[in-house]
Structure 1
């Protein structure tokens, strides 16, 4: 199994209210991919970090293997969520992919 974990920070220009809506949209969009992408085992977005956090939200996903992760990256439904709900609003992205 392969884990795919991403931490994002949102752009500073957004108000706390806007950030809450953006995070909800990212969570809804990404979690809706469950069952639609071959090899995707589980996908969860966490939007409420503790005050000690220095990221705004986290994606925690699991794939059958590295080939499934590569397929997810280019899958049209994932690309639509990334281009429409994630990339326009994020300032930074940190990713760690690893084998379990």
Structure 2
């Protein structure tokens, strides 16, 4: 299995209210992919980090294997969420993928 973890930082020009709405929209969009993409075993977005966090939200997802992660990356439903709900609002994206043994 492969874990795919991303931490995003939102752009600075949003109010706190706007940031909460954006985070909720990203969560809804990404978690809505469950059951729609082959090989995607689990997907969860965390939006309420502790004060020690240096990102605004985190994606924690699990795939059957590397091939399934590759399918996800280019799947039209994932690309639509990324293009419409994530990329326009984020300034920093940090990713860490690893195999679970």
TM-score by length of 2: 0.99
CA RMSD of aligned residues (A): 0.2
Which residue pairs with 1:68 in the alignment? 68
Partner of 1:49, secondary structure, is coil
Alpha-carbon distance between aligned partners in 2 of 1:55 and 1:71, rounded to the nearest angstrom: 26
Which residue pairs with 1:99 in the alignment? 99
Alpha-carbon distance between aligned partners in 2 of 1:76 and 1:12, rounded to the nearest angstrom: 29
Which residue pairs with 1:35 in the alignment? 35
Alpha-carbon distance between aligned partners in 2 of 1:52 and 1:6, rounded to the nearest angstrom: 17
Alpha-carbon distance between aligned partners in 1 of 2:49 and 2:40, rounded to the nearest angstrom: 24
- In the alignment, does 2:13 pair up with 1:13? yes
Which residue pairs with 2:45 in the alignment? 45
Tell me by how many angstroms 1:68 deviates: 0.2
Tell me by how many angstroms 1:51 deviates: 0.8
Runs (5+) with no aligned partner, structure 1: none
Alpha-carbon distance between aligned partners in 2 of 1:47 and 1:72, rounded to the nearest angstrom: 22
Tell me by how many angstroms 1:37 deviates: 0.1
Partner of 2:73, secondary structure, is helix
Alignment of 1:77-96 (within 5 A): 77-96=77-96
Tell me by how many angstroms 1:8 deviates: 0.2
Runs (5+) with no aligned partner, structure 2: none
